[in-house]
Structures are given as structure tokens and as C-alpha cells.
Amino acid sequence: MKPTVLAAFVAGLTLVPDQAAAQSLPVISGSIEATTDHRRRGLSWSDGDPALDAYVEAPLIAGLEVNGRATTLRSSQRHDGADAVFDLGGKFSTGFGGITASAGATGHWFAGGASDLDYLELNAGVGALLGPAQLDVTADYAPDQDAIGGDNLYLRARGSVAVIGTPFTVAAHVGHSTGGSDDALRSARLRPTGDYTDWGAVVEYVVGPVIVGARYSGTSIDTDRPAPVLAEIDNSGDRLTAHVALVF
């Protein structure tokens, strides 16, 4: 074997492990978003003020992924003055016959609050792709915990579609929050005046990695009803917000 051929052969062997390692590395994806009000389940989590939100997810093995989110809360009354929340979770997904099912858990850790605010949720969902539309039904259950004054179950149905031939996507959802209460003050964080229904819609304009959009969210909560301070009742009703995001 000629020296030049031998050198090329050896170099090729040294590259194989590196290439295999590169192919085995998880493909990390996520987004960074600025919004005029960070809302979850129809409730403001950022005290009705603008907020920043960063999300990242990475697959580990087939069907299993981990994800994390960090959100500014602007000293939210709902979360007893917390400045930020960090959501860390894991999820296992599997598909069969065009249907995708998933199960996992998410921990919510709060920074800067005046009391114990952290809590855990169990997550499950079923989704299906029907032509250009994606339909999902999800359930999030937080077992009885002191930080939320009892337990909490959130059920949601959501549909989204990319408008063919345009850079627009639209989505809509309806959800319902229910649960038991051991502490009316604490349970007001997730259910300001008790069980309630929320709904919403979003329109987004997508150009490459940039998304610009608007969201509407509403709830069945009576915002004129007296409620504990953690209910943040003034930020629990209808709201139209705008957002811009960079995805990667």
C-alpha cells in the first residue's frame, strides 16, 4: 500500500468515531420570545406586564426528551412576588396509526418569591395530524401540594393549522381547571375563584426563524368578585397580547 493511500486510510479511520459521535449528539431546539404579557391558562403570570420567555428541548433516546423553560414574572402577585419561574420536565412519546401519545412530568421552581411556591405536575396527551391540521388533547395534574393549596387538574383541547400558501399559522384552544382546595389563599394561584374554563386563539406570521403574532385569551372567571391577593383577579380576564419569537 502506498504511503499516501495508507495515510488517507488511517485518517479516515480516525474520523469515523468523530462522525458517529456527532450523529449521536441530541438535536437541541427551542425559542426565545418577548411578549406584552405572559399568560398561562388564561391567567397572567407576569403581573400583566411584558415578559421574556426562553424554551429548550433535547431528545435523549427514541421517544424520550427533556425540556426546560425560563420566564420572567415581574414580581408577580400571583406567585407571591416571584421574579422568575424555571420549568424543568421530561416526556416520553410514542406513535401508532397516525396517533401520538405522551406522558411526563414538569417541575415549576420559582425564584425571588416570599414563600414556598414550587410544585410538580404530571402530564399526558394524545395528538393526531389530520391533513394540515394538528389536534391535541392534554391533561396536566398537580397532586395535592401545600404550594398550590390542594390539587389541580387542567384539561385542554387544541387545534392548529398552517394556512396553505401563506406564512400564517392559526390555533385555538379551550381548557378547564378544577381541583380540591385545602387552603383558599394558595389554591387561588391556579384557580382564582374556583373551577373555571379558559379559551384562546393565536395568529402568527412565520418568516424563517422569526415569528410575529397576537394571542387572545379569555376566562369564565368573574373579575368583579372579591378574591385573595394571589388570585391577581385584575389579570384573570380577557386579554389581547402581542409577541415576537426567534426559534432555533
Residue 57 maps to a domain: yes
Q: Is pLDDT above 60 for 94?
A: yes
- Position 1 in a domain: no
Amino acid type, 237: G
- Taking residues 168-180, report their average pLDDT: 98
| Residue 13 scores a pLDDT above 50 | no
| DSSP bridge partners of 84 | 72, 111
Confidence at residue 24, expressed as pLDDT on a 0 to 100 scale = 59
Alpha-carbon torsion angle 30, 35, 40, 46, nearest 10: 120
Q: What does each C-alpha distance from 246 to 53, 68, 73, 90 come to in angstroms?
A: 11, 16, 20, 23
Pick the residue with more confidence: 9 or 136? 136
Above 90 in pLDDT, residue 228? Answer: yes
Q: At residue 128, does pLDDT exceed 90?
A: yes
Q: What percent of the chain has pLDDT over 70?
A: 90
Higher pLDDT, 21 or 236: 236
CB 173 within 8 A of CB 199: yes
Backbone angles phi, psi at 190, to 5 degrees: -100, -20
List the domain range (segments joined by +) for residue 163.
28-247
pLDDT tens string 192-208: 999 999 999 999 999 99
133 domain-assigned: yes
For the cut 50, the answer to whether the pLDDT of residue 210 exceeds it is yes
Indicate the pLDDT class of residue 12, thresholds 50, 70 and 90.
very low
Q: Is residue 13 in a domain? A: no
180 domain-assigned? yes
Helix (H) or strand (E) holding 3: helix 3-24
The CATH number of whichever domain residue 171 belongs to comes to 2.40.160.40
**Which of 16-25, 62-71, 75-84, 95-104 has the lowest average pLDDT?**
16-25
Output the pLDDT for position 25: 66
Higher pLDDT, 236 or 11: 236
Radius of gyration of the chain from Cα atoms? 22
Residue 6 inside a domain? The answer is no
Q: What is the mean pLDDT of residues 10-26?
A: 47
Q: Domain total for the chain?
A: 1
Who's near 239: CB < 8 A, 6+ residues apart?
A: 37, 39, 44, 216, 217, 218
At residue 143, does pLDDT exceed 80? yes
